[in-house]
Amino acid sequence: MAPPVSGKARYKVGRLTKRAEFLAVAGARRKWSAPGLLLQARAQDGVQKPRKGEPDVRVGFTASKKVGGAVERNRARRRLRAAVAEVLAPHALPATDYVVVARAETVRRPYAALKQDLAQAMKKLRAWQDPPAPDAAPQADGGGT
């Protein structure tokens, strides 16, 4: 399978910072496990479109001691943040919260495979949105009258 197409973020991406926000996403019980990560997703409560100034999509990252020591956990989070910027941000559904959980394999897994894991998890959770087709170039009408 071809690697996911990277692109610019379509929506403003914010961060989940409070424990209650992480628990709310976990409580939605929408998750998919891949070799390099675990992805959890949840539609934001009663939000069709976020308010002005608020992020459209929020993402949280976590890595437990099962991943390794502090250095390995930080490396895993950095790799996940980079993968999210390339894969999740351009394809995320608006008004959705995501939690990306590092696994022991996150640090050792090739980066391309990690991005593929994230793309596959998003598709399995039906949290993947294809980018809009580029606007067609205006065609000249050929009549210069």
Q: pLDDT confidence of 132, banded at 50, 70, 90? A: low
- pLDDT of res. 125: 86
Chain centroid offset of residue 145 CA = 51
Q: Give the Å distances, CA to CA, from 20 to 4, 24, 131.
A: 31, 6, 31
Tokens of 132: 């809009």
Instruction: Measure the CA dihedral 19/25/29/30, to 10°.
Output: -140
Query: 73-83 pLDDT, tens per residue?
Result: 999 999 999 99
pTM strictly above 0.75: yes
> Which helix (DSSP H) or strand (DSSP E) does residue 59 occupy?
strand 57-62
Domains defined for the chain, CATH in brackets? 13-124 (3.30.230.10)
- pLDDT of res. 71: 96
Query: 13-69 pLDDT, tens per residue?
Result: 789 989 999 999 999 888 999 999 999 999 887 655 555 666 788 999 999 999 999
- pLDDT of res. 4: 47
Query: 93-112 pLDDT, tens per residue?
Result: 888 899 999 999 999 999 99
